[in-house]
Structure 1
Amino acid sequence: MSLKSIFLFILLLSARLSFSQTSYPKITGYFGIMHPIVTINKDETAVNFRDYYAVGFPTGINIWKNEKIGFSFEVVPNIKDDQGTSKVTNLLFHPGILVALGHGYTFAGRAAFESSGRYGFTPVLNKTLIKSSNCSYFAAIPLPVRFGNDHPASFTVGFQFGIAF
């Protein structure tokens, strides 16, 4: 069984568990699409959709300890198309702490470990837009800060949307 199959199985199991749970800890899963909008470092400012096209696919599991605090583990494969050539450029491991802020807002403070050799942190502000009995649709603003691998420190502003179940 491949790592991809195992992760999919855990994700589907967590979705099934989240429908039947009414107490804590509560397990939920999610999938999204993340577009970095602009990345700034001391040498340049790169704009997605203008200079290249990059997209990430955050997939994760949240374990809520109670209605206010939780832990999240996210994996994000990133794809970049630059001058007609596309490839997976990076795999991001993104564990973090969740804090429910009320009114559908959640703050995620994530550590970041990239297969490209970069590391850092990502504060994320998340807002549930539509909530039904089966799933929720959300939008988020991730603000990645990255260091390492002989590149200057960088700051990115992104936009993410997705579905949680």
Structure 2
Amino acid sequence: MKQNYIIEMKPILLFVLLYISTAAFAQETYPRITGYFGIYHPIVTISSEQTNLNFRDYYAVGFPTGINIWKSSKIGFSFEIVPNIRIQGSSDKVTNTVFHPGVLVALGKGYTFAGRLAFESAGRYGFTPVLNKTFIKNKNSSYFLAVPLPVRFGNDHPATFTAGVQFGIAF
């Protein structure tokens, strides 16, 4: 009778040991590096001189590409490069490239705050707070929606504030 009990317990014991070993190796290790690519649409840009709406007189789009280095599950560093294209009438060109280093703070429930400095090849500088929400997370990638709010100064232009939307994939 005692032998039958041990034989019946073997599959359960095997399952428990397998689960424990899998859980131990499934933990995320830090630092952790992720990359991402997105498409950014500025919606409105406001300055003391004027208000510009994208999609009305022109179309502007950016392609943020970056690397995130997570020090822990709560804090990380990010470096992003954003080439921007502007299409107006029959003319289209790369207007500038933004170099965007920053700090990442995980807020929980898929939300992340990115506080970025901004250095534009067009001669402007500033900062960009970004609120990011991961809405689909797979084993090897995740999809996110972000709201960047760039503030820019310099190059003999008035200060500007822009509100935009960004969609992307992280891997």
Identity of aligned residues (%): 75
2 CA distance for matches of 1:22 and 1:100? 15
1:25 aligns with 2:4: no
1 CA distance for matches of 2:47 and 2:63? 23
Q: Which residue of 2 aligns with 1:43?
A: 49
2 CA distance for matches of 1:22 and 1:97? 20
Q: Secondary structure at the match of 1:50?
A: coil
Q: TM-score, normalised by structure 2?
A: 0.84
1:142 aligns with 2:161: no
Q: What is the identity, as a one-letter code, of the residue corresponding to 2:65?
A: T
Q: What is the identity, as a one-letter code, of the residue corresponding to 1:52?
A: Y
1 CA distance for matches of 2:27 and 2:60? 36
Q: TM-score, normalised by structure 1?
A: 0.87
Stretches of 4+ aligned residues off by more than 4 angstroms: none
Q: Secondary structure at the match of 1:75?
A: strand
Q: What is the identity, as a one-letter code, of the residue corresponding to 2:92?
A: S
1:63 aligns with 2:69: yes
Report the alpha carbon displacement of residue 22 of structure 1 after superposing the two structures with TM.
2.6
Q: Which residue of 2 aligns with 1:87?
A: 93
- Report which of the two structures shows the higher radius of gyration computed on alpha carbons: 2
**CA deviation vs aligned residue, 1:120-159 (integer Å, no higher than 9, x gap):** 0000000001000010000000000000000000000000
Q: What is the identity, as a one-letter code, of the residue corresponding to 1:28?
A: T
Could you tell me which runs of 5 or more consecutive residues in structure 2 were left unpaired when the two chains were aligned.
Answer: 1-25
Could you tell me which runs of 5 or more consecutive residues in structure 1 were left unpaired when the two chains were aligned.
Answer: 1-19
Please show how residues 56-135 of structure 1 align to structure 2 within 5 Å: 56-135=62-141
Report the alpha carbon displacement of residue 82 of structure 1 after superposing the two structures with TM.
1.2
Q: What is the identity, as a one-letter code, of the residue corresponding to 1:71?
A: F
**CA deviation vs aligned residue, 1:69-99 (integer Å, no higher than 9, x gap):** 0000000000000122000000100000000
Q: Secondary structure at the match of 2:103?
A: strand
2 CA distance for matches of 1:124 and 1:81? 25
2 CA distance for matches of 1:104 and 1:61? 18
